[in-house]
Structure 1
Amino acid sequence: MSGYVERPAAGLACVWRRTAARRTASRVVPDGCTDIIWSSAGTLVVAGPDTVGHPTTTGPGVLHGVRFGPGVGPAAFGVPAHALRDLRVPLAELWGPTPALEDALAAADDPTAVLAAAARARLRATPPDPVAAAITRSVRRSTVAALADDLGLSVRQVHRRSLDAFGYGPKVLHRVLRFDRAVKLAWTGVPFADVAQRAGYADQAHLSREVKDLAGVPLGQLVRP
């Protein structure tokens, strides 16, 4: 049986599982998040923050993942987000040897619980930059200059800390978060004109241009079942 399931997880955006009975083509698109992914074939990788859509082929088999919310993952990975931008990197390159974790994953009834526990332990040891959460909350409604003023930082400092936390500056983060909201609305069946208005685009044409730039395909193709 094939399919994708995600569920809430304390301190994380979610945990998820993707099952494919055969090799399946899909497209991973920017959402501001980062993931740790373990496959039933034994690979254990970090998915860095994306700036464009990536065609990918998965399966047959099962993928188990934990997803960090925007600005959170780099604290667990131990490197700035921009070093992982648009990359898939073996977790061992960031955490050092991972055979004990891989053995625990292979033996677990619920590998996502094992991944979540490891992720939370890292976040307890190295919490995320609190400025990242402030940027996420404010980026949709503030200019970068106003945001910097609110935080008591210079524009350059806000840009640098945004690169470290998200992999890109505040303006790109705004585009990515707006795009992610639009895609989620479209998936629920909201008409595209309403998606544009509710997600904060000037009009449907603006939405179409942004989706094509960030995903690489039109919105209708992206959300096609």
Structure 2
Amino acid sequence: MFQERPSRVPGAVLWQTTHESEAAPQVPEIPQPRRTERLRQAEPSLQAERILLSGQAERTGQAPGAQLRVLPDGCMDLIWVDGQVLVAGPDTRAHLFPARAGASYIGLRFAPGTAPAILGVPAHELRDRRVPLADLWPSASARRLAERAAVADDPGEVLQEAAMRRLRSLDGPAGPDRVTAGVVDGLRSGLPVSGIADAAGVSERQLRRRCLGAFGYGPRTLGRILRMNRAVELARTGTPFAVVAVDAGYADQAHLSREVKALAGVPLGALIR
């Protein structure tokens, strides 16, 4: 079962999901520098447990050993699971994880580009990673947050309040800077990267550097991910794949097929069954 609600954190969403049994039907969609070297990878049983708004969690096998496939969407999440607070970084490809019976996940999903200021780490340092929050924040702060979440009636509210406190403590803006603020809208509207860079008054190299810190990857990778999610949304409505390819901005249906397979690991048809 999946539920989500708006968050007081600008652009963010609070979500909760529980996997009732190994044989349950498809889970609904929900959506390196030195510092990186010291970030621990989360334990395998906790690796993520990342639920995405524009991605899809898809069962890829039958119990026992069933897995869920989570698509990349450019977002980052703060997640309460198994007594720990984890951070899920921005994905560049589909992430597979076990569909554990009875597992419950509660998370705060940040809009693209907004998490780095709150978490205190550039997005590219967390790319394709799930790490304990204690690797990013002072261990005492992360421990107190986990302790509050453990006894709270609503752990999501605890995550949200922690993020709000971080926002209030910032000297500058919490979201992307003026250069990266228009990247998502520009990419979704079909603008080329060169056009986005020109509009921002920076070079393509400078734009890429800004995007790495804000989104975890360059504008071209972000554009591919956003376009793939748009294609999946259209395909779910029953739109023929040839029309999906045109409407989502692909050269043709073959291009659509290659891109979805590269990012999701499976054909488009497998994502909408």
Residue 229 of structure 2: aligned partner: 180
Aligned to 1:53: 94
180-189 or 41-50, larger mean C-alpha shift: 180-189
DSSP-derived class of the 1:95 partner: coil
Of 115, 133, 151, which residue of structure 1 is paired with 2:181?
133
**2:5 aligned with 1:7, yes or no?**
yes
Q: Structure 1 pair 188/75, CA: closer, same or farther in 2 (3 Å)?
A: farther
**Number of residue equivalences:** 221
Q: Offset at 1:165?
A: 0.6
- In the other structure, the counterpart of 1:117 is 161
Residue 32 of structure 2 is matched in structure 1 by: none
- Equivalent positions of 1:47-196 (< 5 A) are 47-59=88-100, 60-97=102-139, 98-126=142-170, 127-130=174-177, 131-140=179-188, 141-196=190-245
Q: CA deviation at 1:101?
A: 1.0
Task: Give the RMSD, CA atoms, in angstroms.
Answer: 1.8
For 2:90 and 2:175, the matched residues in 1 are separated by 15
Counterpart Cα distance in 1 of 2:3 and 2:152:
18
Shift of 1:77: 1.3
Contact 1:19-1:63 at 8 Å conserved across structures = yes
For 1:21, the equivalent position in structure 2 comes to 20
What is the distance in 1 between the residues matched to 2:202 and 2:169? 26
Distance, in Å, in 1 between the alignment partners of 2:208 and 2:194 is 10
CA distance in 2, matches of 1:190, 1:124: 44
Q: Is the 8 A contact 1:12 1:66 kept in 2?
A: no
- The structure-2 alpha-carbon separation of the partners of 1:185 and 1:9, relative to structure 1 and needing over 3 Å to count, comes to farther
Q: What is the TM-score with the length of structure 2 in the denominator?
A: 0.75
Structure 2: unaligned runs, 5 residues or longer: 23-65
Please, which runs of 5 or more residues in structure 1 have no aligned partner?
none
